[in-house]
């Protein structure tokens, strides 16, 4: 998925979450007020869900976030290792150069390649971080949307 598509996905999920959360909060405040007014008729099942569902969704979200962060860290470590190796090869090429022109050419080739890789890796990392954000939000989004639909009935 392109970074633009991922950003659109994140925006849609965020908007849906905000709308569903507002609906759920409004309905649950009413349920809590009714419970205070008449404890014998309190909707204990719904009152219990208010905490357990949040804990479940947040736990799933945290798991996704931690796993994704570990993958991003591994990716960053791999990129750093590749760039260190590329810089080492470039230094060797500069040191083997017989003329100043060869030195400049070796350095310039490394610099141009490094610039290209930096742009590519930056875009890839940004897209991966945006995807992780949306993926980590998914369990919370799913719970809120499901609750909004259930509570509308």
Quick: pLDDT tens for 72-101. Answer: 999 999 999 999 999 999 999 999 999 999
Residue carrying structure tokens 């909060």: 25
Please report which confidence band the pLDDT of residue 6 belongs to, taking 50, 70 and 90 as the band edges. Answer: confident
Q: What is the pLDDT of residue 2?
A: 81
Residue 1 has pLDDT above 80, yes or no: no
Please say whether the beta carbons of 24 and 151 come within 8 A. Answer: yes
In the chain, the percentage of residues whose pLDDT exceeds 90 is 88
Q: What is the pTM of this model?
A: 0.77
């Amino acid at each position: 998925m392109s970074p633009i598509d991922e950003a659109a996905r994140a925006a849609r999920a965020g908007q849906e979450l905000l709308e569903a959360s507002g609906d759920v909060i409004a309905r649950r405040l009413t349920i809590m007020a009714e419970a205070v007014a008449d404890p014998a008729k309190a909707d204990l099942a719904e009152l219990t869900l208010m905490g357990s569902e949040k804990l479940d969704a947040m736990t799933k979200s945290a798991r996704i976030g931690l796993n994704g962060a570990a993958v991003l860290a591994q990716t960053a470590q791999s990129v750093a290792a590749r760039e260190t190796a590329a810089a080492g090869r470039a230094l060797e090429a500069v040191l083997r150069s017989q003329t100043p022109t060869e030195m400049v050419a070796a350095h310039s080739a490394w610099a141009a390649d490094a610039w290209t890789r930096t742009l590519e890796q930056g875009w890839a990392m940004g897209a991966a971080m945006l995807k992780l954000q949306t993926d980590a939000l998914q369990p919370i989004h799913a719970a809120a949307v499901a609750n909004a639909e259930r509570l509308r009935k």
